[in-house]
Amino acid sequence: MSFCAWKKGEKYRDHFDHGIYVCSKCDHPLFSSETKYTHDSPWPAFTSTLREDSVAKREEKPGALKVTCGSCGNGLGHEFIGDGPKGKSRF
């Protein structure tokens, strides 16, 4: 099953069905439900991307990378290094 709604992230914040989260513009696979967890922000949060090349990253400021779709460049928010559970990243 895949969920096509990063842009409508609020809808998926408390959504925990198993599946793959894909880009809302091009259907590129981005995140797995296995790395999803609940965070205080209104957005769904993940500790890692599906694959290393699922997304493109660009340093925006120390500890925060701008994350875009690895296929079409659609904006996906940020990776906050070390801000996730057990010192993992938060996407």
The residues binding Zn ion (CB under 5 A) are: 23, 25-26, 28, 69, 71-72, 74
Closest separation in Å from C-beta 77 to Zn ion: 13
Cβ nearer to Zn ion, comparing 65 with 67: 67
- Tokens matching residue 67: 């994350």
Cβ nearer to Zn ion, comparing 32 with 74: 74
Give the SS3 label for residue 14.
Answer: coil
Cβ nearer to Zn ion, comparing 35 with 74: 74
Pairing of strands 2-3, 20-22: parallel
Closest separation in Å from C-beta 55 to Zn ion: 9
For 7, how many CA atoms within 13 A lie in the half-sphere containing its CB?
9
Q: Which residue do the tokens 């079409």 mark? A: 72
Closest separation in Å from C-beta 81 to Zn ion: 23
Q: How many other CB atoms sit within 10 Å of the CB of residue 59?
A: 10
